[in-house]
Amino acid sequence: MKLHLNATHAYRGDWLLAAQGTFCEGLHLVSGDVGSGKSTLALMMAGLLSPAGGSIVRDGISSIMISLQFPEYHVTGATVAEECRSWGLESDPILSEVNLMDKRTTAPLALSRGELKRLHLACVLAKNYDLLLLDEPFSSLDAREKERLCEHLSRRTVGITVLFTHEQTCFPQVDHIWEIQHGELLDRGKMPDALTRWEHAPALIKKIISAGKILKNISHLDLQEAVCRT
Amino acid sequence: MQDVRMRICTATLLTLVSFFSVVGAVGVFVWWLVFTPRFHEIKRIRMVTGTLILVAVAALFISIAGGDGLSYLVRMITIILIGIWLFSEQKTGEFLHLGVWLLGNRTGFEMGMIAEMGMQMAESLAADLDRIHMAMMIKGQTWGVKTLVPAGLILVSDALVRAQDTAELMAVRGFYNGGTFCPKFTHKRYDLIPAMVAIVVVFLAFIPVSEFLILYQ
């Protein structure tokens, strides 16, 4: 199962995003500043936006799911329960998982942004997809929910998962790091070697590395383990 | 046409002519062919196909009921074309200029502001419709009667939430009524030509030209 970006590029006015590389099975982190083109790349990889040039080849990928940054953009159900069913899911297990059982008849857009994001992610992650694209999945989540999401993603072993984020505090265990800089997708390589090349790395990770400590990965547990190591 | 006052007057005249006379509708269609970007604008505006289908269905019913469906179809299509031209030429803020110029800083300001909000809402609805369509594609759903009702509910609910947000924001900023605004309009000399030709179309539609020709013979 592979996703190939062959000299893919997209224009937005006078702004250009160029991407080249292959995404294999595992969890990929694509980092970049706000407005760097992460969402555009995610939409192109999902097939919802046609590239201006180059091609995207989905090798052995039969199911694709994209989680857009704003959960409201996914709403098609008139109630919270209907919204769960619109994803082809039983509503009760999902709603009990995200503690929204008492809001099953509420309109999804009447939920708080955090509640809606929680509900949306639970629906997206309830099924396995060959290609799962998550655009800023941590936005609107509190620290506990971010950690829960990281644990879930770290456990995911099937298919290609691509995490597009500018998050600096909370990460799952990733296999590969990419970053978008000056309109270009740069392959920083596999973990843990990618860490030394990762320019958008959070200050804490940079400090741990500069202190000469070896980081195996970037999850909270990995950071704790590296910091505590003597 | 740069000046919104001239544009709205021209559109009003052409719409009335189209509505009341088939000859006028034909004249308006020629005017539309000569003075507007024609089909280039139609492609940009969605809902055109849906509106045309609705008009065609109504015309069919009128014909079946013994009325002149063809005349209705011709007149309504030209009115839609003029509407598309008016909508596509519209620039943000123009209604506020027009409202204040027409009715002053209190009533005019409020009417202009409401019209501007209406235009913004129309753009938001189009964006909402796009994102609902994308969400359905992501979920593997297709447009149909079953998805139409929830989509409509979301559109209405979103519009109400946005309206409430705007109202609260205005109240917080101390808006009570009216405002102070200096209306400005830009116009080019060339704009006079389509406006004058529109007046000629009105005369040609309502003056019995054929009787003049008989007199001449």
A162 within 8 A of A130, measured Cβ to Cβ: no
Record: contact A86-B131, CB cut-off 8 A: no
Q: Among B138, B149, B153, select the one facing A74 at the smallest CB separation.
A: B138
- Which sign does the torsion angle of CA B3, B8, B14, B18 carry? positive
In the three-class reduction of DSSP (H, G, I as helix; E, B as strand; rest coil), residue A172 is classed as: coil
According to the model, what pLDDT value does residue B43 have?
65
Q: Which residue of A has its CA nearest to B128?
A: A73
Residues in chain A within 8 Å Cβ distance of B134: 48, 68, 73
Q: Report d(CA B191, CA A138) in Å as an integer.
A: 53
Report pLDDT digits (tens) over B39-83: 766 666 667 778 888 899 999 999 999 888 999 999 999 999 999
pLDDT band at B217 (very low <50, low <70, confident <90, very high): low
Report pLDDT digits (tens) over B197-213: 999 988 888 776 666 66
Does the N-terminal peptide bond of residue A71 adopt cis geometry, omega within 30 degrees of 0? no
- Among left, alpha and beta (phi > 0; psi -120 to 50; other), residue B140 is left
Residue in this structure with the two tokens 């469906």, named with its chain if needed: B69
According to the model, what pLDDT value does residue A45 have?
94
The angle, 0 to 180 degrees and rounded to 10, between the axes of the packed helices B145-172 and B109-138 is 140
Percentage of the residues of chain B whose pLDDT score is greater than 90 = 37
Record: contact A76-B137, CB cut-off 8 A: no
Q: Among B147, B149, B157, select the one facing A109 at the smallest CB separation.
A: B157
Q: Report d(CA A29, CA A23) in Å as an integer.
A: 11
- Cβ atoms within 10 A of the Cβ of A134, count? 24
- Write phi, then psi, for A184 (nearest 5 degrees): -135, 135
- Computed on alpha carbons and rounded to an integer, the radius of gyration of chain B in Å comes to 21
Q: Among A72, A76, A109, select the one facing B147 at the smallest CB separation.
A: A76
- Write phi, then psi, for A9 (nearest 5 degrees): -145, 155
Burial of B115 per CB tally in 10 Å (0-12, 13-18, 19+): middle
Percentage of the residues of chain B whose pLDDT score is greater than 70 = 92
Suggest the residue from B134, B138, B164 to mutate for an interface test with chain A (most A CBs closer than 10 A).
B138
Domains and CATH numbers, chain A: 2-63+130-194 (3.40.50.300), 75-128 (no CATH)
Q: Report d(CA A100, CA A77) in Å as an integer.
A: 15
Average pLDDT over residues B14-29: 91
B181 within 8 A of B96, measured Cβ to Cβ: yes
According to the model, what pLDDT value does residue B45 have?
67
Query: How does the average pLDDT of chain B come out, rounded?
Result: 86
B59 within 8 A of B70, measured Cβ to Cβ: yes
How many contacts (CB atoms, under 8 Å) link A and B?
46
Nearest to B149 by CA among A82, A212, A5, A150: A82
Burial of A157 per CB tally in 10 Å (0-12, 13-18, 19+): exposed
Q: Which amino acid is at A113?
A: R
Q: Which residue of B has its CA nearest to A89?
A: B139
According to the model, what pLDDT value does residue B138 have?
86
In the three-class reduction of DSSP (H, G, I as helix; E, B as strand; rest coil), residue B81 is classed as: helix
List chain A residues with pLDDT less than 50.
Answer: none
Q: Which residue of A has its CA nearest to B148?
A: A76
